[in-house]
A and B are shown apart, each in its own frame.
Chain A
Amino acid sequence: MLNRGRNIEKGRVITRRMFILAAAKILLFAGISSRLYNLQISDREKYEILSDKNRIREWKTPPQRGIIVDNFNKVLASNDRVFQLHLILDEINDFDVTIFKIKNLINLDQFEIKKLYKKKERLKPWDTLVVSDNLTWEQFSKINLYLHELEGAKPVLSTSRFYPYANDLVHIVGYVGDASPKDLEKPEIKENFVPGLKVGKYGIENSQEKMLIGNYGIKRYEVNASGKRISQIDYIKERQGNKVNLTIDIEIQKYAQELLKGKAGSICAMDIYTGEVVAMASSPTYDPNKFTHGINQKDWQEIRNNPLKPLINKSIAGLYSPGSTFKPLVALAALEYGTLDPNKTIRCKGHKHPYELYGVKYHCWKKEGHGYMKLRNAIKQSCDIYFYEMARLLGVDKLSIIAKRYGLGTNVLRDLYSDEKNGLVPDTKWKRRALEQSWYLGETVINGIGQGYIQTTPLQLCLMTAQIANGGYKIKPHIIKDESINYKDVINKIKLDQSNFPLHERNYLDDIKVEFYQRMYHKKSNINFVLDAMFGSTNEQYGTSYKSRYDDPKYQFAGKTGTSQVRRITDLDRELDLDTDQIEYKKRDHALYIAFAPYKDPRYAISVIIEHGGSGSKAAAPLASKLIKRIIDRHKLREQFNIGNTSLA
């Protein structure tokens, strides 16, 4: 009985303890359930993202660069088909072996192999290594033939930048190359960059990067734990960059470049109403296509060491004293300020009796002298003596107001080119500030013939000519088509204003700011006087560019020659009076010419500079003459095309 009682007691203990255990179990299971709830319901989103991060990997696909076209939609920069060899790194077991095989197939040298290894180190194990971005057809077909032996090798048909007009446009369009760390700091590149993408290095390619670069595509793949692609989930297509439409006419550009062949210099041509740059040639040039896949050392040294400096865009980065091409502007300023009566006569007596100021002698270029000159004749025959005196009377500060207003002293294309120069239009304030010296009258005198401190770019001279030729109206020079300008309206507006008698609400003799397409002159007759004098310079006997004239009114143009000294002319030089080709190249004068055409109802302005070309009339004017004919021949086509185009817009 006792035993039995004990047994009952023992059974009770076991059962009681079982229930305590069961309670603990329920508690622990509740803990598990709440943990499950936490993970799967509260934090679900977090883990979903983590899971997607695990399984989805993105590959960016490079966009095609926007094309660049000329005024007539002719392609200036395109995307050409190229053969490339890529290596998919995660498909390669032994990188060394693969590289060795490839090396034998496409003949890589030690240097290139080293570069590949370096490149590989920077890549992630699932990235793609671009072994070569420009294989020859022969190499490409060889790779394809042995493809089964090459782990992870992927022959790719891709596109790369191609410039069909190569040398003719490099200074305008620029070129592309691999992105430098500095390039990658630019937001437009940073946002759209894909490894291997080429970016603009100079010119339009560089400054219009935002337009041209496009947007990369994204390919999303599901990958497994070892990074192997399982399936493609998503493909957001890449977007090609926008087209950039230039105002350049490639035919004229090509011709200008051809005219400059073998010389160092620049030719610029501009529509005097719309401000469109029609041509902007700089010589010598180089082939931008060489830069696309990285230029080789030999070619690079050749370009860099060329004494004629092909890398400098002479139209906007070359600084020259304007020489006599400055004279129309000096005359205009003197007339506007009423400094002198155009009928005033000054005698040019030749080298024996030069102009004298405080004991310093200033010579005319013409040894035997021009004799008695009035202003029109002085412009026409480019008499220095007349301009010395006129400049002295005018003063440098008044001259600088007018010179700046007509486009000198500031860069023309604003921020489009990083290397564009401002040039220099000196005045007394400038000298005091920059050189901490006071101004000497003698400096005013030589400023009157475009020598001394004054420095201009060829494009500035072209703009100056355009703004005189259009009757003295401020225009907006540009090289990329501006959708906001309705060309027809602009031309009509200026032409309507030209035929009206101007009312003077403002004092144009003050240093005022003038809006685009507004007049800049004080008296219309002064502009007309200068234009007429330039006509004389080209189309009348004794005019400095008489030999380059056209009699056909269709092509008839007016211009002004210029010869810019690169050094001080000594008395010995004057005595020797050597011909240009007898002087050492570096010491020869720069030859300049500015012109507008046609004389009746002008439409284009042009500037020509031949470095060390000698005299403007011999070296520069003939080139301008040839180009003017070409421009005018193509005018109708351009007009139809542009107006047709704008009316559509």
Chain B
Amino acid sequence: MLRERIQASNYSFLDKLRSIDYLLILLIIAIGSISVFAIYSTEGGKFSFYTKNHIIRLVVFFSLFLVLSFVRVSTWYKNAYLFYIVGLVLLITVLFFGISASGATRWINLYFLNLQPSELMKIAVIICFARYYHRIQSSDIQSYKFLIQPIILLIIPCYLVIQQPDLGTSILIAGSGIAIIWLAGLNIKYFVYSGLLLLVSLPFAISILKPYQKSRILTFFNPDRDPLGAGYQIIQSKIAIGSGGFFGKGYLKGTQSYLEFLPEKHTDFIFTLFSEEFGFLGSIILLFLYILLIYRIINVGLVSRSFFAKLYCFGFATAIFLYVFVNIAMVLGMLPIVGAPLPIMSYGGSSLLSIMLGLSIVMSCKIYNQEQISAY
């Protein structure tokens, strides 16, 4: 009987409301609120530009998330490639009409927002790959014919993003794409081989890096190499986090950020500020919130019937994990500084928009979890 209703695709509004993952919404609100407090603290406890903007964006994009959550998952499926193409077009637009800041050309001026297409591309790749592998038979997955297409689909945006240059986002896009290829069941040997290949080609890869990227990597291995230059950010970030101790210095009392020792504190280093003020305890709680968020997204995948939804949710969960991990590992000095925002926490419209968009697709998977999607 239920099945009939599904086939008929006539969920009542009440059913939809009932299917919403409220815990997921609660988590988004929790992390969102924490981010408001953190941004407020970066401004030295003054309610001004960044805080205001961040709140507005949160409210707008959260509403957008709620609305888009009710879009049928099959609609997302149908438009997956379109989504990818739009992303690609925007990336090319950036190449020609992008606006620059501090040596990088990453944004398109949309007047109300400087859109960073590479952020949208992170989601586009996941949804595109989810659709691609949704329809491929498991027997065909191992064949080169079906492997070469996603690799090309992945290389194009990655290349475009590296050109901006934005190594961090490019790695994250590649990471999310590879994650889906892995989930779809490609033989493990491919991963081992390409991993080895990557290691071998690393010296060549480094040689084509921009000087500042090279210095960042060298600095990662030895931050004291240039404590006032390239190593400055990571040294100051570690000092801030370390001096926070177990309970932290207290809200609005983070001296490292308040006295401007921390660079990029609203964006990439927001975790540093949070960790300085709220200490080990606060950091672990925040980390736990992200783990819960990832768990809830995976859970949606588990209860979904379609491969598209499963692949998308697992892929998106992995992407969120990657963003969080790369960002935090970076500010803790475990990874080179590559420029990766912390999802929801970091100030930045495009990043927030893409996360909310991604989450709304997850929510739509949840609401329409019983929907079957035909392969064609």
> Which residue of A has the minimal Cβ distance to B240?
A51
For B, the interface residue count at a CB cutoff of 8 angstroms equals 45
Alpha-carbon gap, A33 to B284, bound state (A): 7
Which chain B positions have C-beta within 8 A of A225? 259-261
Contact of A55 with B by CB under 8 A: yes
Which chain B positions have C-beta within 8 A of A37? 280
Instruction: Find B138's partner among A10, A41, A224, A230 (CB 8 Å cutoff).
Output: A10
Residue interface bits B235-268, CB-to-A below 8 A is 1, else 0? 0101111111110000000011001110000000
Residue interface bits A11-49, CB-to-B below 8 A is 1, else 0? 101110110011001001101110111011101101110
Flag if B280 contacts A40 (CB, 8 Å): yes
The B-contacting residues of A in range 183-223, CB under 8 angstroms, are 222-223
Contact of A357 with B by CB under 8 A: no
Contact of B106 with A by CB under 8 A: no
Which chain A positions have C-beta within 8 A of B261? 54-55, 224-225
Alpha-carbon gap, A222 to B302, bound state (A): 54
Alpha-carbon gap, A21 to B283, bound state (A): 23
A3 to chain B, nearest CB (A): 9
Flag if A14 contacts B334 (CB, 8 Å): no
Instruction: Find A36's partner among B179, B183, B240, B284 (CB 8 Å cutoff).
Output: B284
Contact of A9 with B by CB under 8 A: yes
Alpha-carbon gap, A14 to B291, bound state (A): 20
Known: A31-B334, A224-B259, A225-B259. A17 touches B138 (CB 8 A): no
Contact of A50 with B by CB under 8 A: yes
Flag if A29 contacts B242 (CB, 8 Å): no
Flag if B241 contacts A36 (CB, 8 Å): yes
Known: A21-B318, A32-B287. A14 touches B260 (CB 8 A): no
Instruction: Find B283's partner among A10, A40, A48, A224 (CB 8 Å cutoff).
Output: A40
> Which residue of B has the minimal Cβ distance to A224?
B259
Residue interface bits A307-340, CB-to-B below 8 A is 1, else 0? 0000000000000000000000000000000000
- Interface majority SS (helix, strand, loop, mixed), chain A: helix
Alpha-carbon gap, A37 to B301, bound state (A): 32
Instruction: Find A48's partner among B245, B280, B311 (CB 8 Å cutoff).
Output: B245
Flag if A41 contacts B287 (CB, 8 Å): no
Alpha-carbon gap, A47 to B184, bound state (A): 45
Residue interface bits B314-349, CB-to-A below 8 A is 1, else 0? 100010010001001100101000000000000000
Which chain B positions have C-beta within 8 A of A35? 329, 332, 334
Contact of B182 with A by CB under 8 A: yes
Which chain A positions have C-beta within 8 A of B185? 10, 13-14, 17
> Which residue of A has the minimal Cβ distance to B254?
A51
Contact of A182 with B by CB under 8 A: no
Flag if B239 contacts A47 (CB, 8 Å): yes
Known: A29-B325, A41-B245. A55 touches B255 (CB 8 A): yes
Instruction: Find A32's partner among B184, B242, B318, B325 (CB 8 Å cutoff).
Output: B325
Alpha-carbon gap, A115 to B332, bound state (A): 48
Flag if A51 contacts B139 (CB, 8 Å): no
A496 to chain B, nearest CB (A): 72
Alpha-carbon gap, A226 to B256, bound state (A): 12
Which chain B positions have C-beta within 8 A of A11? 307, 310
Which chain A positions have C-beta within 8 A of B259? 54-55, 222-225, 230
Which chain A positions have C-beta within 8 A of B241? 36, 39-40, 47
Alpha-carbon gap, A44 to B241, bound state (A): 9
Flag if B183 contacts A40 (CB, 8 Å): no
Known: A31-B334, A36-B332. A41 touches B280 (CB 8 A): yes
Which chain A positions have C-beta within 8 A of B329? 28, 31-32, 35
Alpha-carbon gap, A40 to B242, bound state (A): 4
Contact of A6 with B by CB under 8 A: yes
Flag if B332 contacts A39 (CB, 8 Å): yes
The A-contacting residues of B in range 253-296, CB under 8 angstroms, are 255-256, 259-261, 275, 279-280, 283-284, 287, 291, 294
Alpha-carbon gap, A9 to B139, bound state (A): 10
> Which residue of A has the minimal Cβ distance to B184?
A14
> Which residue of B has the minimal Cβ distance to A56?
B255
Instruction: Find B245's partner among A10, A31, A32, A40 (CB 8 Å cutoff).
Output: A40
Which chain A positions have C-beta within 8 A of B183? 14, 17-18, 21
Alpha-carbon gap, A36 to B288, bound state (A): 13
B265 to chain A, nearest CB (A): 11
Select the residue from B239, B242, B301 with max chain A CB neighbours within 10 A: B242
Which chain B positions have C-beta within 8 A of A54? 236, 239, 255-256, 259, 261
The A-contacting residues of B in range 135-172, CB under 8 angstroms, are 137-139
Flag if A21 contacts B179 (CB, 8 Å): yes
Known: A11-B307, A35-B334. A46 touches B242 (CB 8 A): yes
Instruction: Find B275's partner among A18, A25, A36, A46 (CB 8 Å cutoff).
Output: A36
Query: Which 9 A-B pairs give the minimum distances between C-beta atoms?
Result: A47-B242, A51-B243, A13-B185, A40-B280, A224-B259, A10-B138, A225-B260, A39-B242, A47-B243
Q: Please name 17 further chain A to chain B contacts, defined as beta carbons within 8 Å, in addition to the given A29-B325, A40-B275, sorted by A numbering.
A: A6-B138, A6-B139, A14-B184, A14-B307, A18-B310, A25-B321, A28-B321, A29-B287, A32-B329, A32-B334, A35-B332, A36-B287, A50-B243, A54-B256, A54-B261, A55-B255, A223-B259
7 contacting pairs across A/B (C-beta < 8 A): A14-B183, A17-B182, A21-B318, A36-B332, A40-B280, A44-B246, A50-B239
